[in-house]
Amino acid sequence: MEIVFEVKNSTGIITLNRPKALNALNLNMAIQFSDKLREWENDNKIERVLLLGEGNHFCAGGDVKSVHLSGPFSKLKQEFFSKEYSLNLQIKNFPKPYLSIWKGVVMGGGVGLSIYGDYRIATDSTKFAMPETSIGFFPDVGGSFFLAKLENNLGKYLGLTGEIVQGKDLINFNLATHYCPENKINNLISQFIIDGSITNYEIENSSFFTDEKLDFIDKNFSGNIHEIFNNIQNVNNQDGLLEKLQKKCPMSLAVTTLLIKNSNNRSLKNCLEIEYRLSQKMTNRHDFEEGIQAVLIEKHHKPKWEPKTIDEINNNELSSLFNDPIDNELKLQNSIYSS
């Protein structure tokens, strides 16, 4: 079974059970997840929910490889993103305590399954990232919602670079709500199952995002993608940042920048509906096919993007990705349970 449900002492426990695929979420899992949440929401015997990933990792994201292999303009592309984004909003609206244990990789769709819950436990192994610009896509599952809320252009930076966030920084940025050392995780889980309480341990490791780095990000990641590149070209090259960005999909960088820039005052519902329109267009561009092949299938990590650079981006195409309607727009309920 790819997803396992059990109940212990009034706690509904969901375990993502595809460890060989780093628990990547597929359509079947998303459907079962949504159905079970709806059942537990209406079950007075269930007081809280715990979300886990089987093995060493929480969830590496959505199963975009299957989405790619389904072919252009496929029904799976519509159904998967529609169900995934609906589930993201359902989790945000879920009225009972909802806790996720962030072991290992927490990326993309894995973030969407957890960040809208009440509690997110960072551990010593947590590797949090939104790496979609490497595959010709963009930070979805409400990425435009939560990244836009990070201060000092940090959300734009994380969305464009896909940089991994760990430890104390997850707490500092309010991405995680608590920290727990690896050898105490079972104790924390047991206590939550017993009475819903959570022990918050003190984290000792240092922050990777120093004040100097945050100041650099704030100053240089404002404006559109062309302004950001110009800023970075005119300062001391920190950590090979320019070269890292030049390897990402140019159209993904432009879309991500514009999406996050314009999402600061949008609701999660609105963000997800906009992202759905983008998902249906971006997954049918050459770059998505190229990115999945290069990064996830052949793993040579040398995709040939079209356009090759941000200077070759057609602004009309960029605008049409956001503004031109699609046949099946996603219309979400403000409350997933309302009629």
Cα dist. 304→132, 173, 292, 316, 319 in Å?
A: 16, 34, 11, 21, 22
Q: Is the peptide bond before 72 cis (omega within 30 degrees of 0)?
A: no
Q: Which position among 63, 84, 132, 287 bears the catalytic label?
A: 132
**Cα 118 to chain center, whole Å?**
16
327 is catalytic: no
- What are residue 7's phi and psi, to 5 degrees? -125, 130
In the residue annotation, 291 being an active-site residue is answered as no
Catalytic residue (one of 12, 53, 61, 62): 62
Q: Which of 63, 84, 140, 289 is catalytic?
A: 140
* Residues constituting the chain: 339
**Amino acid, res. 325:** P
- Can 62 be counted among the known catalytic residues? yes
- Selecting among 109, 155, 162, 291, the annotated active-site residue is 109
d(Cα 242, Cα 224) in Å, to the nearest integer?
15
Which helix (H) or strand (E) segment is 88 a member of?
A: helix 75-93
Cα–Cα distances in Å, from 23 out to 26, 29, 56, 101, 193? 9, 10, 10, 13, 22
| Paired tokens of 115 | 């960040």
108 has catalytic annotation: no
Q: What are phi and psi of 287, to 5 degrees?
A: -65, -35
Neighbours of 34 (CB within 10 A): 17
Q: Which two tokens stand for residue 57?
A: 């990792």
Q: Which residue has the tokens 């806790």?
A: 99
Active site residues: 62, 109, 132, 140
